[in-house]
């Protein structure tokens, strides 16, 4: 369950045992940039679906990384390391946005997309509007002291996410997207159904901060991944 599953020179690394008969699942990290956030899910799917991930090399909020350029580079590296094998792409939170931009560059290779409590802005104006709405929601649902902590934390999170520039919707995909959205998450109100005409929505427990920490959620995601047929099996 560590980077020992790939060579020292490789950028992407596998979190569980190799599985040759099914397309691998590539999961992009949230804004903390660490792919090991998926290690519990990888353990559940060990010897059934191999999970690959990456650790972001990111900017600091001043030296921004253009997400479209970054996604293009990640696709190029993935192809260098893994070839043209079919795969499923997804991500949690910010990772879903990276998965979307990567899929735009390799749609013919991707079977479907997994969205774990993530959203995608249609444009820069919507980003400002939604962020303000989320902060206001956190304030209204909490005590004064707690709301201030949450508001400050959200502001810090937003600053962290600024290392991705040009992070908006470009064009719809023809792929099926499975959206796993937290019932208590503000992201639920902004689910990006516009990304595809093939949306499968599954409500899971928890809020945006803890959806991957709830065991039942991991079981729901794992079962969904195992029960969906691939093109080769249909």
39-48, 89-98, 134-143 — which is least confidently predicted? 134-143
Band the pLDDT of 138: cuts 50, 70, 90. low
> Which pair of structure tokens corresponds to residue 157?
């999170």
Closest CA to 48 of 89, 2, 16, 12: 16
The band of 139, judged by pLDDT with boundaries at 50, 70 and 90, is low
Q: What is the pTM of this model?
A: 0.85
Instruction: Give helix then strand counts, H and E, for the chain.
Output: 6, 9
Structural domains of the chain in order of their starting residue, each with its CATH number: 3-226 (3.40.50.1820)
The rounded percent of the chain whose pLDDT value lies above 70 is 80
**Between 45 and 5, the higher pLDDT residue:** 45
* Residues 172 and 192 sit within 8 Å (Cβ to Cβ): no
Whole-number Å distance between alpha carbons of 51 and 94: 18
Tens of pLDDT along 36-74?
999 999 999 999 999 999 998 777 666 778 889 999 999
């Amino acid at each position: 369950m560590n980077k020992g599953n790939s060579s020292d020179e490789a950028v992407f690394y596998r979190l569980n045992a190799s599985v040759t008969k099914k397309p691998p699942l590539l999961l992009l990290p949230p804004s903390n940039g660490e792919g090991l956030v998926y290690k519990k899910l990888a353990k559940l799917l060990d010897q059934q679906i191999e999970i690959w991930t990456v650790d972001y090399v990111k900017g600091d909020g001043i030296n921004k990384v253009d997400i479209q350029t970054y996604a293009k580079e990640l696709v190029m590296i993935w192809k260098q390391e893994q070839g043209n094998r079919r795969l499923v792409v997804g991500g949690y939170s910010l990772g879903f946005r990276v998965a979307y931009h990567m899929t735009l560059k390799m749609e013919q290779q991707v079977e479907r997309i997994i969205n774990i409590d993530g959203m995608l802005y249609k444009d820069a104006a919507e980003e400002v509007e939604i962020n303000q709405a989320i902060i206001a929601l956190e304030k209204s649902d909490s005590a004064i002291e707690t709301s201030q902590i949450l508001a400050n934390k959200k502001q810090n999170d937003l600053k962290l996410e600024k290392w991705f520039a040009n992070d908006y919707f470009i064009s719809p995909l023809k792929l099926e997207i499975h959206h796993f959205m937290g019932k208590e998450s503000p992201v639920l109100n902004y689910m990006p159904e516009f990304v595809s005409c093939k949306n499968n929505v599954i409500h899971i427990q928890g809020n945006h901060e803890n959806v991957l920490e709830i065991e039942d959620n991991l079981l729901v995601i794992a079962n969904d991944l195992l029960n969906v047929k691939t093109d080769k099996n249909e």
